[in-house]
Chain A
Amino acid sequence: MNRVPGLFVLLAASVLFTGLAARIKALWAGRRGAPLLQEVRDLWKGLRKGEVLSRTTSFVFRLNPSVQIGTMVFAALLVPTPGQRALFPFPGDFVLFAYALGLARFMTVLAALDTGSSFEGMGASREAAFSTLVEPAFFILMGSLALVTGQTSFEAILSRLDYGTGSAVLVKSLCVVVLFIMLLVEGSRGPVDDPATHLELTMIHEVMILDYSGPDLAFIVYAAGLKMVLIATLIADLLIPFNVGAIFGALLYAAALTLVAAAVGLVESLTARTRMSHAPQFIFVMSALALTAFGVLLFSLRRGF
């Protein structure tokens, strides 16, 4: 099992990631901030609690948390971590990765509508609308990388990316930026969403889970952290050469995740949340950049990359 160190980092990082970003924000604002392991305590507390369910809800609402955490853990098994093989790579596995995230989104949105609350309806509506801009960009990005490597699975695509020409550096940095924006949108962070509050009319993710408590909430919070780490893992895969070995790779990987979390915290400290009506413009930057990367690749390939 050459896979264990990376997977361990991945699953552990998902309880630290949000804490780290929050810590950076606190430091930037001149506060001490909550302990790094605060989320572990919250999760542990949630798992031992009972819960309150809305009378309006149906089985969809109760099923959703298990689907969230199940799909995210599953997606974690598909993603290769730096220096290590994926658990079961197959051609086109990144499609399944994206669609597993899609299944989770489908259930989140339905669970939010299940409560009959107009707040949660708002969040659900925005989540569904914004995702229509994120998903094509992700596929343009993966398509570009598949094009340049001639490979079809996550692992093969990311492991063959080591080339050192000028346009390659350009393409890689474009991809990192695209994935970082995707992390901010999918992870419901600023400037698109605000993780700090859930009673503003402007929220997306937090408002959709207003009615969850106890183990259900713990499942959802863990899954949300895992989702961010999954996308951060893809960024780490792009930044770290693939052939560094399992243990060293895991260390570099942990460092890269810390870096990404810090970047998320910094972005949130430095930028104001955009107006909801302007968020699509920000998200659309993803597609524009991904298309640029594709264009660069298409033309540099013709000249013998």
Chain B
Amino acid sequence: MIGFLAGTGLFALGGAAALGVRPARKGTVFAIFAAAAQPFLAVPVFRALTGEPVLTLSLPLGFPFGPAVLRLDPLAAFFALIIGLGGLSAAVYSPAYMKMYRDGRSSLSGYYLFLGILTAAMLLVVTVQNALLFLVVWEIMSLSSFFLVGFEREKDDVRRAGIYYLVAMQAGAACLLAAFAWSSTLSGSLDFASFEPIFAGNGFVPTALFLLFFIGFGVKAGFVPFHTWLPLAHPAAPTGVSALMSGVMIKTGIYGIFRILLLGGGGNPVLGYIVLAVGLVTGVFGVMNAIAQHDLKKLLAYHSVENIGLIGLGMGLGMIGLTLRNDTLALFGFFGALLHVFNHFTFKSLLFYGAGIVYLKTHTRNIERLGGLIRVMPITSVLFLIGSAAICGLPLFSGFISEFALFSGAIRALSVGGAVPRAAALGGLAGLAFIGVMAVLCFTKVFGICFLGSPRISPRETMTEGAAPLLAPMFLLTGFILLIGLLSPVILPFLGPLVRRFIPGGAGPEWIQLVDLFRAVSMALAGLAGLILFFVLLRRLLLRGKSVAAFKTWDCGYQEAGPRFQYTAGSFASPFLKLVAPIIPIAHRLREPDGLFPERASYESHSADLVETGLIRPAGAAVRRILGLLTWIQTGQTQNYILYGLIFLIVLIIWIIGVR
């Protein structure tokens, strides 16, 4: 445990150490500290994941914390693994990427300082098991990421995104504060372990508490309707931070929900269906919005919403399995959800890093202005393609393995229980398929329009392959994608002890079934890879000695087709967006050519997030109206405020003497 804390400290220390050196060196210094932290983190994490006894450290903190317990159990270790790897890849990626901000106006010191604090805080979030201390590190995490989102604070939209993010995080934290206060009042202790009896049963208190926790953590994770901060904050932050936030930080919300589940929460059968439904809606809504986006990073942010939905779907299946006492269903649900947490970390970080290289070299995130990048940045393109295939859940890549587990869970739920679980399972099945096929649409759009075809803006000499430090983390993440995609049985021993903890009794035989299934799947996938390879070689053999001529693309006899004739992202997505127009409203602004000598004409289209326009803004306005009724309290005169304090004290004294 001391080693783990040392690793955590090294991240924060790295951020502090970067303060003291020249701007050009800051990144390197931070990366060295991040790398040095890895062995300290890796050893305890792997020991915990393989099921060794839980490492515990009790800090004798005084009032108000009480004894603060840190535990590195398999759940904490699993998330610590993701945080450690995510922190390392952001640290390696950042120096080369942040070069473009080395103009003296931006504060690189602040960037590395908060990056270090953010990583360290996340590592503490998953290990601290004292409610009050947890809230403290949780706030440190939110605040440090707020400063990172606002890095380019001179830009208007960045400032707006930063404030929006901060408000959303505080709203979530308020729910958590209430939930933790409630549970520690009931249990009389701040230690998480003492909450277990409260969650037992399915009465009002455990159900309401679970929902309160689910909302509080759900804001961080980005479940619909609490997702609206993601598409604002992710694009605003520098890429290293976007990748860390999207790939890692939102998972701390998922961690929180899993922690509550591990403490026995979610016992009410209705909760499983609620989580399943929220997951399903989040997945479908996220990917539909992603299809409508033409800003590369905003699109990726909406895909994070989608993947959080898939994770929620798995959680819901697992919870339904627990209440139905169907261990196989519970196992597949939780296994799929947890594996998807890791998989989403790898491919989403990879895609953000790829998008970062594109932005660095072309200075645009607008998909419509890109094209043909595969010629100038072949390595980035191939890695981005692998990430795209993985996020679509296509076989041979990691996304398929976790989605297959979710499918398996849903299929098993079909044959248990009555009509309700069956209908829910079918909804899950059809929803998963729908989400998957929409993701294919979205990522064929992204990859096809940005990287394939002809360049839509004239290529500049600066448009080159990304430097080695930018590509290195991408290679690391690609390695994980291919490893899990092709050799999934290899990673099962590290997930087994964790997943089985969620199921009373450990689900031994069911776990063996699961391992056997994934052996069969990985053999089948090897067959698929072999067949494709066979035909690649056959094609080469058939073409040996034949003429392979290069010519222009067939343009049906039209001679002047240029890059501007290509299909655009907007036109590509249009047939689908017309189908879902009621869910994804698109505003068109057309200025037609006018008069005999038309001077200018223009056309714009913008998609709107229905939750943002239909729920968050009206709700925000309503809150402001109600609070506006109380403005008379704020007199601005010190005497009045002292009076309020006095009244509060008197009420308190009366309450203590009278009621207690």
Residues of A within 8 A of B (CB): 47-58, 60, 63, 65-67, 69-71, 73-74, 77-78, 88, 90-93, 95-96, 98-100, 102-103, 105-106, 109-110, 112-122, 124-126, 128-136, 138-140, 142-144, 146-147, 150, 152, 199, 210-211, 214-216, 219, 276-277, 280, 294, 298-299, 302
Contact pattern, B 455-487, Cβ under 8 Å of A = 1, otherwise 0: 000000000000000000000000000000000
A140 cross-chain contacts in B, Cβ below 8 A = 426, 429-430
Task: Tell yes or no: B556 within 8 A of A by CB.
Answer: yes
Interface residues of B in 514-572 (CB under 8 A from A): 517, 520-521, 523-524, 527-528, 531-536, 538-539, 542-543, 546-556, 561, 563, 565-567, 571-572
Listed stretches B78-86, B94-102, B315-323, B434-442; interface member:
B434-442
Pick 24 A–B contacts, CB within 8 A, sort by A.
Answer: A51-B549, A54-B550, A54-B554, A56-B454, A56-B552, A58-B452, A88-B520, A91-B408, A91-B517, A102-B394, A102-B440, A103-B389, A103-B394, A106-B444, A116-B453, A116-B454, A129-B576, A134-B437, A136-B431, A140-B430, A146-B414, A147-B414, A276-B575, A294-B426
Within 8 Å by CB of B437, from A51, A52, A135, A299, lies A135
Q: Is the CB of B444 within 8 A of A74?
A: no
Within 8 Å by CB of A211, from B531, B549, B554, B573, lies B554
Q: Is the CB of A54 within 8 A of B553?
A: yes
Within 8 Å by CB of B449, from A66, A113, A126, A150, lies A113
Known: A121-B567, A128-B576. A71 touches B532 (CB 8 A): yes
Complex: how many Å from CA A118 to CA B520? 42
Task: Tell yes or no: B256 within 8 A of A by CB.
Answer: no
Task: Tell yes or no: B579 within 8 A of A by CB.
Answer: yes
Complex: how many Å from CA A118 to CA B441? 17
Complex: how many Å from CA A134 to CA B440? 13
Within 8 Å by CB of A114, from B425, B453, B573, lies B453
Residues of B within 8 A of A (CB): 371-372, 374-375, 381, 385, 389, 392-396, 400, 404, 407-408, 410-412, 414-415, 418-419, 422-423, 425-426, 429-434, 436-438, 440-441, 443-445, 447-449, 452-454, 517, 520-521, 523-524, 527-528, 531-536, 538-539, 542-543, 546-556, 561, 563, 565-567, 571-576, 578-579
A122 cross-chain contacts in B, Cβ below 8 A = 567, 571
Q: Is the CB of A143 within 8 A of B576?
A: no
Complex: how many Å from CA A71 to CA B528? 7
A115 cross-chain contacts in B, Cβ below 8 A = 453, 553-554
Q: Is the CB of B436 within 8 A of A102?
A: yes
A126 cross-chain contacts in B, Cβ below 8 A = 575
Query: A67 CB to closest chain B CB, in angstroms?
Result: 6
Q: Is the CB of A129 within 8 A of B517?
A: no
Complex: how many Å from CA A67 to CA B396? 12
Q: Is the CB of A143 within 8 A of B375?
A: no
If A65-B535, A146-B414 are given as contacts, then 8 extra A-B residue pairs at C-beta distance below 8 Å, sorted by A number, are: A70-B528, A70-B534, A91-B517, A102-B437, A102-B440, A110-B452, A118-B565, A140-B430
Q: Is the CB of B574 within 8 A of A147?
A: no
Complex: how many Å from CA A176 to CA B452? 39
B410 cross-chain contacts in A, Cβ below 8 A = 143
Q: Is the CB of B448 within 8 A of A109?
A: yes
B563 cross-chain contacts in A, Cβ below 8 A = 116
Query: A302 CB to closest chain B CB, in angstroms?
Result: 6
Q: Is the CB of B412 within 8 A of A109?
A: no
Within 8 Å by CB of A63, from B411, B415, B536, B575, lies B536
Q: Is the CB of B411 within 8 A of A143?
A: yes
- The 4 tightest CB contacts between A and B, nearest first, are A121-B567, A113-B448, A50-B546, A70-B532
Q: Is the CB of B566 within 8 A of A121?
A: yes
Q: Is the CB of A139 within 8 A of B433?
A: yes
B438 cross-chain contacts in A, Cβ below 8 A = 132
Query: A154 CB to closest chain B CB, in angstroms?
Result: 12
B393 cross-chain contacts in A, Cβ below 8 A = 99
A91 cross-chain contacts in B, Cβ below 8 A = 408, 411, 517
Query: A119 CB to closest chain B CB, in angstroms?
Result: 7
Query: B416 CB to closest chain A CB, in angstroms?
Result: 10
Known: A95-B407, A99-B395, A105-B440. A135 touches B434 (CB 8 A): yes
Within 8 Å by CB of B517, from A67, A92, A109, lies A92
Within 8 Å by CB of B441, from A120, A129, A211, lies A129
A216 cross-chain contacts in B, Cβ below 8 A = 539
Q: Is the CB of B419 within 8 A of A136?
A: no
Within 8 Å by CB of A70, from B531, B551, B572, lies B531
Query: A108 CB to closest chain B CB, in angstroms?
Result: 9
Q: Is the CB of B553 within 8 A of A116?
A: yes
Known: A99-B400, A113-B453, A147-B415. A128 touches B423 (CB 8 A): no
Q: Is the CB of B555 within 8 A of A128?
A: no
Chain B residue at minimum C-beta to C-beta distance from A126 = B575
A302 cross-chain contacts in B, Cβ below 8 A = 418-419
Within 8 Å by CB of A90, from B389, B520, B550, lies B520
Complex: how many Å from CA A54 to CA B430? 39
Q: Is the CB of B452 within 8 A of A117?
A: no
A119 cross-chain contacts in B, Cβ below 8 A = 556
Chain B residue at minimum C-beta to C-beta distance from A108 = B444
Complex: how many Å from CA A52 to CA B551? 7
B394 cross-chain contacts in A, Cβ below 8 A = 99, 102-103, 106
Known: A99-B393, A102-B436, A103-B396. A125 touches B575 (CB 8 A): yes
Q: Is the CB of B452 within 8 A of A215?
A: no
Complex: how many Å from CA A280 to CA B578? 10
Within 8 Å by CB of B426, from A90, A118, A144, lies A144
A53 cross-chain contacts in B, Cβ below 8 A = 548-551
Complex: how many Å from CA A179 to CA B644? 72
Complex: how many Å from CA A276 to CA B543? 38
Query: B428 CB to closest chain A CB, in angstroms?
Result: 9
A67 cross-chain contacts in B, Cβ below 8 A = 532, 535
B542 cross-chain contacts in A, Cβ below 8 A = 47-48, 215
Q: Is the CB of A131 within 8 A of B517?
A: no
Q: Is the CB of A214 within 8 A of B411?
A: no
B445 cross-chain contacts in A, Cβ below 8 A = 128
Q: Is the CB of A102 within 8 A of B408?
A: no
Q: Is the CB of B436 within 8 A of A99?
A: yes
A106 cross-chain contacts in B, Cβ below 8 A = 389, 392, 394, 440, 443-444
Chain A residue at minimum C-beta to C-beta distance from B433 = A139
Complex: how many Å from CA A54 to CA B567? 17
A49 cross-chain contacts in B, Cβ below 8 A = 546
Complex: how many Å from CA A130 to CA B372? 26
Q: Is the CB of A118 within 8 A of B566?
A: yes
Within 8 Å by CB of A109, from B444, B549, B579, lies B444
Complex: how many Å from CA A109 to CA B567? 12
Q: Is the CB of B551 within 8 A of A143?
A: no
A131 cross-chain contacts in B, Cβ below 8 A = 437, 440-441
Q: Is the CB of B395 within 8 A of A96?
A: yes
Q: Is the CB of A139 within 8 A of B521?
A: no
Q: Is the CB of B426 within 8 A of A143?
A: yes
A114 cross-chain contacts in B, Cβ below 8 A = 448, 452-453
Q: Is the CB of A132 within 8 A of B411?
A: no
B452 cross-chain contacts in A, Cβ below 8 A = 58, 60, 110, 113-114, 116
Known: A53-B549, A99-B400. A146 touches B415 (CB 8 A): yes
Complex: how many Å from CA A74 to CA B411? 22
Query: B554 CB to closest chain A CB, in angstroms?
Result: 5
Within 8 Å by CB of A139, from B400, B432, B535, B578, lies B432
B385 cross-chain contacts in A, Cβ below 8 A = 60
B538 cross-chain contacts in A, Cβ below 8 A = 66
Complex: how many Å from CA A72 to CA B543? 22
Complex: how many Å from CA A281 to CA B120? 53
Chain A residue at minimum C-beta to C-beta distance from B389 = A106
A95 cross-chain contacts in B, Cβ below 8 A = 404, 407-408, 411
Within 8 Å by CB of A110, from B448, B517, B524, lies B448
Complex: how many Å from CA A70 to CA B539? 12
Chain A residue at minimum C-beta to C-beta distance from B405 = A92
B372 cross-chain contacts in A, Cβ below 8 A = 56, 116
Query: B283 CB to closest chain A CB, in angstroms?
Result: 13
